[in-house]
Structures are given as structure tokens and as C-alpha cells.
A and B are shown apart, each in its own frame.
Chain A
Amino acid sequence: MSDKVLLSIRDLQVSYGGIEAVKGISFDVREGEIVTLIGANGAGKSSTLRSIVGLVKPRGGSIVFDGEDITGADTTGIVKKGVTLVPEGRRIFPDLTVLENLKIGAYMRRDSLQEDIDWVYSLFPRLKERSWQAGGTLSGGEQQMLAVGRALMSRPKLLMMDEPSLGLAPIIVRDIFSIITEIRKRGVTILLIEQNANMALQTADMGYVLETGRITISGTGDELLSNEAVKAAYLGT
């Protein structure tokens, strides 16, 4: 882990049709870290990720990635700089085969993909078995693996994940989180948002609690796990 700040968010504000979803949040993601934003439905987590990757234009504030201001830039440009998002609900392409889904993740690259395909297959051996199957025929857990694999194919510096555990069986959630740690070992920085706060905080170096568009608590993963307010509201212990 280095001290280099890869992503720096300052006073970010996002609104949808007059409703303020994010009301001026600031946080940093350092290179090699796993950072998590936790919070309830509608706290502004997805809006934050979507504005970082340019799918929604922020109303105010700044987003600096790798020393460059990317506030309000278009999505393809941001993705090209090395940011990728595993979207909520996985959004794999149902008609494309598993292999095609992986290849499309590397759409901007012109070099050989074999090494990365092999790596993704080694992370998720299930995908290899099903490489010729249409993405839509996979189970929910397999689709999540495919969505993560697809995102990795672009060789991102920053991998963002929107609720990777949503709708998955606990055992699969554990798999996904152990693979997140595995991916970090490769030097990929990870920003993930979760309602499953327990798993997320156990895995993360830094955590932020988002409540109705504002960051209310922040600290290392362990600090938040033992924080009384977090325990009461998000861990159910």
C-alpha cells in the first residue's frame, strides 16, 4: 500500500430531478486500498459511484482521479483512464456468451487478451466451464462473477462495485469477498458500496457511513466494526 491518493472526492453533490441524492461528501481512496461506503437504501451510495464514472453529472464538487480532474467527463473517457464500475444488478449481456462478455470488457484494448482471460478463469473456474454459454443462462452468483471478471478485463486501476452481494447466497457472498481481496493483491484499488456492512467492513481498509447524502462516520474497517452507532444501525449486533 502506498500513500498516493488515487481518487479524491471533494464536496460532491449529485441531484436527480430536483432531489439531492448526495449533499457534499468528501473522501479519498489511496492506491491499493479497499474502501467501502456503507449505508441504507437511498443514502446516495449508487449516485456517488455513478457520478465518479460519469453516468450522472455531478451538480457540484470535484472528482480527481490519478491527478486528473474527471468531474463531469464522459463515461468512455473516464473508463479509458482506468476506472471501471461493476454495476448494480450485474448487468451482464444476456445474449453474449461468457467469453464474449469478458472480451467486451476489454473493448478499448488492442493488445492480446489471453493472459487476462486466463487470470479471470483462474479466479472464477466456473466461468471457464461455461465459457460458451449465453450469459443470461448463468445463476445469479455466476453472473456476479462474470460482471467482476468483465470489469477486470479492462485492466482497471480502480475497480468500483455496486452492491456485489445483492441477492446472493451467503456462501457465494463469502467467495466474492475473498476474491475481492485476491484482486487487490494484483494492485487494483477497490471502492465498493454495500448494504451488507459486516462483510464489507471486514474486508475494507477504510469505511465511510453514508446517511441521506452525507458522510456521518468514517474510520478504518475495524474501527467501524466496533463503533457503537454502526453496530446498532448496520450490523444488527
Chain B
Amino acid sequence: MQLAVSTLLSGISAGGQYALIAIGYTLVYGILRLINFAHGDVFMVAGLVVIYMTASMPLYVALPLMVVFIVVLGFCIERAAYKPLRSAPRMSVMISAIGVSFLIQNFATYYTGGLARFYPEIPFLYDSVTIAGATTRWVTIVTPFLVVALVLLLLLLINKTKIGLAMRAAAKDFETCQLMGIKINSVISFTFVIGSALAAIGSILYFTNYPSIMPQSGALPGLRAFVAAVFGGIGSIPGAVVGAFIIGICENIVKVNPTYSIFSDAVTFIILIVVLGVKPTGLFGEKVTDKV
């Protein structure tokens, strides 16, 4: 019982953290049909920035400042690496994304010397709590509620506001959007801003659980989040969230047996392949109609 509770808790918590990254993948894919490979690395930078900032300022200043910094970073990446390739074939943009990913990792290695850095202990989130006999940190409890709240806020933004209307329209047809007087580049930038902000918030939760940060630390959670987005049906926000929770829980169930814990990622991918075999567009995927 205690084991089941703690497994489920860490599964939900990991899932929630993946969800916040996965939304960034799915939003960008929805509008640009681009898999933004740099997204996981932006997530890693969010962790490093907090470490460097807390050396000279208190946490309550560093964390909001970090979110702002990451938002600006996401915006700049889009403007510098993707916007100039707007009319280029999709493959070129993808290569550009991979390039940005390497660039960020290299910069991180340059600044950290390739050594692991340790995330500061955030009061409250880092504190222990015992539920049904299972001991965990508050971050585990907070994550799912925060994720649900943020997702509801995001859905409200997308379904009820003018910019949300433009985002939904842009996901279908750039040219007609321009005819409506919509500045496509602003809509795309806004999408990157939201995705980056969510990844920044996710990083606070994730690195409280896994406090050691290396330049490659963004790759694995980024990859899992990307898989979650595909699993849920890329382009769909509820899909990304549900997919992320499923992957987080599966991963932690496999990890229960220490002998097999090393295979947790492989098992996750096998489940993904099976699901995609049955439902090629993912759980909540849109019908496969290519952009006209």
C-alpha cells in the first residue's frame, strides 16, 4: 500500500512536470508543424539560471526573474533561428532546431565546465511530507494541482481571448490569417513565450526533485515530454497533459523493481509504439489532414 501510494505520487509528480514541457512542444507543433528540439535545453537553462542567480539574490527574486529570462530566451530563439526560415522546407527548420539545441548545451558546458551543479533547496517545495505512510516532498503534492490550474488557464486563454482565437486560426491557415489582418509573427512569438514560461515553471518543480544539473539534463525530460506530446496526439493540449501523466506513472511503476528500473525509458517507448500502432494520431490527435 505504502509502495503503491509512493509510486503513484512520484508518477503523477513526474508526469505533471513533463506535462509543462510537453505543452511547449505541442503548442509550437500546432502552429508551425515544427518539433522544437531546443525546448528541452531551454528547460535545462531555466535550472542553471536559478543556480547562478541565487548566488547573488534571494530565491523570491531569482525565480520570477528566471521565468522572465527564459521567456525572452524562447522569444529570441524563434526570431533568430526559426523566423528567417519561415518559407523554407520543414526539414531545414528542424535542423535549425537541432543546431540551437547543441548551441545551448555547448554554452552550458562552457559556463559550468561540464560539472554537475546543484539546484537550491526551495523552502516548502523541498520539505518532506508523509501521506498514507509514504514520505515525499511537498513538490510532489503541489505539482498536479499547479499543472491542472495552469492548463485550465491556458485553455481559457486559447478559447476565450482574441490572441487565442488567432492562435487557433493560425494553426490552420497562415495566409488567410494575414487576410484577417493578423500579424502571424506576433502570434508565433506569443506561442513560444507561453511554451517557455510553462517550461520555466516546470523546471522549478523538476529540479527540486532531481537537483543535479548537467548541460545534458534537459535532453531526457525533454525527450520524454516530446514523447508524451506525440502519445497524446501532437497539437492537442489536453493530449499532451494526459500523455505526460501516463508516461510519468508508467515510468515510476517500472522503476519499482530495482532490477528493471534501468529499462524504464525503453518500456515507456514500447507503450508509445503500441499505442501509436493502434491509434496513429495519438490519444487526442487531430485527423491527419495536412495544412492546405
Contacts and interface: CB of A to CB of B under 8 A. Distances in A.
Contacts of A75: 178-179
A55 B173 contact: no
Nearest to B178: A75
A154 B180 contact: yes
B176 A79 contact: no
A55 B173 CA distance: 13
Nearest to A80: B181
A55 B178 contact: yes
A121 interface: no
Nearest to B170: A93
Nearest to B286: A95
Contacts of B166: 104, 107
A172 interface: no
A108 interface: yes
Interface in B179-203: 179-183
Interface in A56-104: 75-76, 79-80, 84-85, 87, 91, 93-96, 100, 103-104
Interface in B147-176: 162, 165-166, 168-169, 171-173, 175-176
Contacts of A221: none
A76 B178 CA distance: 6
Contact of A107 (B171, B172, B181): B181
Contacts, number: 55
A105 interface: yes
B180 A95 contact: no
A79 B173 contact: no
A93 B179 contact: no
Contacts of A96: 165, 168-169
B168 A79 contact: no
Residue of B162, B172, B178, B181 most packed against chain A (CB within 10 A) = B181
A75 B175 CA distance: 9
B173 A107 contact: no
- A-B pairs with lowest CB-CB distance, top 8: A108-B181, A75-B178, A79-B181, A91-B176, A107-B180, A93-B169, A76-B181, A107-B181
7 contacts: A55-B179, A76-B182, A85-B179, A91-B173, A93-B176, A107-B182, A108-B181
Interface of B: 162, 165-166, 168-169, 171-173, 175-176, 178-183, 292
